[in-house]
Amino acid sequence: MYEEFESKMKKTLAALTNEFATVRAGRANAAILDQVRVDYYDAPTPIAQIAAISTPDPRTLVISPWDASALKNIEKAIQISEIGINPTNDGKVIRLAFPQLTEDRRRELTRQVTKYAEEAKVAIRNIRRDAMEKFKAQKKKSEITEDDLKDTEKELQKLTDDYIREIDKTEAKKNAELLEI
């Protein structure tokens, strides 16, 4: 009965985790490039599909395209993306040097993490609302009883609270990671 809604909540939590991975924390992390699309033969293509991405040291990402002609397009895509790092092109590979985080940048990143977490909480609450509307409609059609509706309401609230707690934990962990670097 709740599986459909719990599945949606799990997907929301997974999406939040993916969003957190794109928040750069002063360490080189290839996940920051997941949202960047390169115009490759007139098709928006993820960088990971047209190049090897490596981390030779904790503060550097090296992007080695398999097709040298894609180098300029990759550089351009990174420049117009909102990751905030300027690529260095040496003709064979692109290097991304992650600077040490300043205190202001850390605060800005924690605000961004909080915003993502709040959006996820809203999504979870919207899933709960949609579920409640569905169950109330079933009650109206006499498919479930008043007691069933009350029990369902309690179960949905418990499920919602569990996922909100999980979002809070994930947010706290990410913020701690940002502040300790």
* CATH code assigned at 149: 1.10.132.20
- CATH code, domain with 92: 3.30.1360.40
Domain that residue 158 falls in: 3-21+102-180
pLDDT-above-70 percentage for the chain: 97
Decide which of 42, 62, 97 is a domain's last residue.
97
Task: Say if residue 179's pLDDT is above 80.
Answer: no
Whole-number pLDDT of residue 1: 65
Whole-number pLDDT of residue 116: 92
Residue 96's pLDDT band (cuts 50, 70, 90): confident
> Which is more confidently placed, 141 or 181?
141
The answer to whether residues 58 and 41 belong to one domain is yes
Residue range 80-84: mean pLDDT, rounded: 78
The answer to whether residues 84 and 154 belong to one domain is no
Q: Which two tokens stand for residue 130?
A: 């949609």
Whole-number pLDDT of residue 10: 93
Indicate the number of domains in the chain: 2
Close Cβ partners of 28 (under 8 Å, ≥ 6 residues apart): 55, 57, 58, 59, 60, 61, 96, 98
The answer to whether residues 109 and 171 belong to one domain is yes
The answer to whether residues 79 and 62 belong to one domain is yes
Residue 56, number of CB atoms within 10 A of its CB? 10
The answer to whether residues 118 and 176 belong to one domain is yes
Residue 165's pLDDT band (cuts 50, 70, 90): very high
Q: Which of 66-75, 89-98, 113-122 has the highest mean pLDDT?
A: 113-122
Task: Provide the Cα torsion 47, 49, 51, 55; round to 10°.
Answer: 70
> Which is more confidently placed, 22 or 130?
130
Decide which of 72, 97, 122 is a domain's last residue.
97
The answer to whether residues 176 and 109 belong to one domain is yes
The answer to whether residues 93 and 108 belong to one domain is no
- Summary mean pLDDT of the chain: 87
The answer to whether residues 150 and 119 belong to one domain is yes
The answer to whether residues 14 and 44 belong to one domain is no
Decide which of 64, 97, 130 is a domain's last residue.
97
The answer to whether residues 89 and 151 belong to one domain is no
The answer to whether residues 78 and 129 belong to one domain is no
The answer to whether residues 58 and 93 belong to one domain is yes
Instruction: Measure the CA–CA gap between 61 and 37, rounded to whole angstroms.
Output: 17
Task: Say if residue 181's pLDDT is above 60.
Answer: no
The pTM for the full model equals: 0.70
Task: Say if residue 125's pLDDT is above 70.
Answer: yes
Whole-number pLDDT of residue 25: 63
